[in-house]
Structure 1
Amino acid sequence: MIDGSTGTILVVEDEPILRMVMSDHLGDLGYATIEAEDARAALPVLGGDLPIALMITDVDLPGMDGRALADQARAMRPGLGILFSTGDVAGIRLWPGFDAATMRAIGKPFEVEDLMHAISSLLKQPPEAARDGQ
């Protein structure tokens, strides 16, 4: 189990049940989470002093979409790992400015195992270490 020392994950998802399920699974893995229902709620967190290791964001958010949120997040926190959750994974990888070193996309619906692998690859932590708490 991870002890949370890998950082806090910001979960931006407009569907309350999906946001809760993701946060619950991340908590079970030992990650601390902050939930935001949209970009308006996420931007103050990103602009604050709390260390954020990774942001998971839905692409189809009301108001500012996940792509625009990611652009603003990267302006505030260069190099921030970003995991997009979407139904169109292939399309995201074609975006101008998509940085394969610090960005990933996961297709909805996804398995917890897929989420864990995507997070561990962004945090540069082997999945086995995430599972074992190393």
Structure 2
Amino acid sequence: MPTILLVDDDALTAMGSADLIEDLGHTVLTAHSGKEALAIAAERPDLDLVVTDQSMPGMSGVELAKALRAERPALPVILATGYGAAPDGESLPTLPKPYDQAQLAEAIRSALAR
């Protein structure tokens, strides 16, 4: 069972998305900021995937992905964004917000298959 770190500064969005991930049979950990996500990632070598919101105060999803890749280059990161694609120059897989469980399941399956 994969362990997924979900990062979203909006508590209601995080709770709903965590429920969707758990319903798919995955273990989910939740962080509400990039800083909190980095602390969790440092303590959890068993993380298989990170799903992060792009637009967060203090640290964007892209900035979080760069920080995670500096420590764990093989850790897949999905960028959930309401803005369409990842910012120019970024090759992160994106998940358009709002998303449903089928879209989330496909994004997770694809990211874990890489």
TM-score bin (small chain): over 0.9
What is the TM-score normalised by the length of structure 2? 0.92
Residue 120 of structure 1 aligns to a residue in which SS? Answer: helix
C-alpha offsets along residues 23-65 of structure 1, whole Å, 9 cap, x if unaligned? 1111111100110000111111112243111000000011011
> 1:89 deviation in Å?
2.3
> 1:97 deviation in Å?
4.3
How many Å separate the matches in 2 of 1:111 and 1:49? 27
How many Å separate the matches in 1 of 2:74 and 2:45? 16
RMSD of Structure 2 on Structure 1 (CA): 1.5
Matched AA of 2:21? L
Q: Structure 1's 67 and 24: CA in aligned 2 closer, same or farther, altered over 3 A?
A: same
**Counterpart position of 2:30:** 35
**Counterpart position of 1:24:** 19
Q: Structure 1's 49 and 87: CA in aligned 2 closer, same or farther, altered over 3 A?
A: closer
How many Å separate the matches in 1 of 2:107 and 2:30? 19
Aligned pair count reads 114
- Are the aligned partners of 1:74 and 1:80 in contact in 2 as well (CA < 8 Å)? yes
**Counterpart position of 1:70:** 65
What is the TM-score normalised by the length of structure 1? 0.79
Q: Structure 1's 71 and 24: CA in aligned 2 closer, same or farther, altered over 3 A?
A: same
Work out which of the two has the higher radius of gyration on C-alpha atoms and give 1 or 2.
1
- In structure 1, list runs of 5 or more residues that go unmatched: 126-134
The match for 1:52 among 32, 47, 51 is 47
4+ residue runs over 6 A deviation: none
